[in-house]
Amino acid sequence: MPIELAPLPLPPSADASSFVEFGKEVKGIDPGKLSPEELEEIRVLLYKHDTLLFRNCELSPEQQYALTKAFDPDTETYGHGNYKSEAAKKSILHPYHTHIPRVPQVQLIGHGVVRDHEGIAVAELQHPSHKSFHQTHLTAEDEAAGFTRFYRWHIDAALYDREPPKVTTLYGISVPQGPKQVVRYEDGTGDELLVPLGTTAFVSGRTMFEILPPELKSVAVRARVRYAPHPYEWMSTAGAMSTGLGLETEGKEKPLSELAEWKEEDVKVYPVLWKNPVTDALHFEVHPAGVQELFVAPLPTGAKREGALYPDGVHLTDLKELRDLLYRMQRPGIAPSLVYPHDWHEKDLVLFHNRGVMHSIVGVFGPGQVRVFHQCNLAASSGPVGPSDEDVIKWA
């Protein structure tokens, strides 16, 4: 039976013209039993469409790990390591992950008490809440009325020592149902977004770049970011913006001298734009909460200087200045019309191109609601590729 593709089930809030290529539902194939030829077809489809949905899957942890590893056969380590190091234990991510004992690259995530699951006697899972990370919080009355926030827009990546995974797989095992919730951006725009309970929200990094005005495209194609050492520990004492798109600048980041031991050679510097290995498109891929410095190269010879930002290049170390610039470039890409909030069903499998999208946890679960997911991504065997010289000439 040949592979069939269908559009993702977009909500009324989505601008369908922006999702022509982004996201497909895949039918007629078992993702746990792919032949080499089928796997290559899925690989191309994922990089072309960035997010693939498979419904009604039966997928063991071993099959999920094998599927994830097939996109990068030379790696086998979970994207954030083993969570046993000093830095990992102080990370904002530490409370939310439990590995499957026999397949430690697959993580058990979700919400509520889970018993006798894949070799785990008892796990007390916690769905991340904006109240543990944002500078300001919704009131209890607002949450009771069904309002929520994006928790944190991010890419799955350690951003220190290990390279960002190429692919993440998310498998829904137990999916609680309930009324939809309304995401409030609360950044002065009045933007809101109706979402399913417990959705994972996705946006396209390609679209994020392509909708920018020329002067910001020029900055993006010339820019690199330097992440803080142990960035999830560094940001753990700070507060995020109400949109979940980066940190407020209050000087609350943990001082570098107080972080777990770190090495300069393990600090990561990446281009702002990452090149798609199949389409050659450029994707805006920055985890804004972890960025400590930003570099913009000078305009190439012959480029138009009129109206250009930083024509002679710049090295930004002031956190407010660089965060304001990143927010200016990234915020249009999370507009309600550009967000795909996936409506999870049990046995849904979502593969996403982790170097091509950004995503966020969303929502609040009530007492007694239990959510069980398996997640897998692997620290990549090589780093992302940035814009070519031709790309810089074209967009600068």
Residue 80 binned pLDDT confidence (cut-offs 50, 70, 90): confident
Residue-wise pLDDT for 285-306, tens only, equals 999 999 999 999 999 999 999 9
Q: Which of 160, 190, 119 is nearest to 287 (CA)?
A: 160
SS3 320: helix
Residue-wise pLDDT for 161-212, tens only, equals 999 999 999 999 999 999 999 999 999 999 999 999 999 999 999 999 999 9
Q: Which of 44, 50, 6 is nearest to 28 (CA)?
A: 6
Tell me, what's the pLDDT at 96? Answer: 60
Its pTM stands at 0.95
Tell me, what's the pLDDT at 1? Answer: 61
Residue-wise pLDDT for 171-184, tens only, equals 999 999 999 999 99
Does residue 253 contact residue 235 with C-beta atoms inside 8 Å? Answer: yes
Residue 48 has pLDDT above 60, yes or no: yes
Residue 285 sits at the vertex; the CA angle it makes with 59 and 263, to the nearest 5 degrees, is: 95
Residue-wise pLDDT for 362-384, tens only, equals 999 988 999 999 999 999 999 99
Tell me, what's the pLDDT at 87? Answer: 53
- Work out the burial of residue 198: count CB atoms within 10 Å of its CB; fewer than 13 is exposed, 13-18 middle, 19 or more buried: buried
What is the C-alpha to C-alpha distance for residues 4 and 390, in angstroms, rounded to an integer?
35
Residue-wise pLDDT for 319-345, tens only, equals 999 999 999 999 999 999 999 999 999
| Amino acid residing at 322 | L
Q: Which residue has the tokens 């972890």?
A: 290
Percent of the chain with pLDDT over 70: 95
Q: Give CA 151 to chain center in angstroms.
A: 11
What is the secondary structure of 112-153 as a DSSP string? EEEEEETTEEEEEE----GGGTBSS---HHHHHTTEE-B---
Does residue 84 contact residue 260 with C-beta atoms inside 8 Å? Answer: no
What is the C-alpha to C-alpha distance for residues 157 and 378, in angstroms, rounded to an integer?
9
The mean pLDDT value for 355-361 works out to 98
Positive or negative: CA dihedral 311, 316, 321, 326: positive
Token pair belonging to 59 = 């997928």
Does residue 375 contact residue 109 with C-beta atoms inside 8 Å? Answer: yes
The mean pLDDT value for 35-39 works out to 94
The mean pLDDT value for 255-270 works out to 97
Tell me, what's the pLDDT at 88? Answer: 52
Residue 95 has pLDDT above 70, yes or no: no
What's the chain's average pLDDT? 95
Which residues on neighbouring strands pair with residue 194, listed in sequence order? 182
Residue 2 binned pLDDT confidence (cut-offs 50, 70, 90): confident
What is the C-alpha to C-alpha distance for residues 320 and 268, in angstroms, rounded to an integer?
20
Tell me, what's the pLDDT at 366? Answer: 87
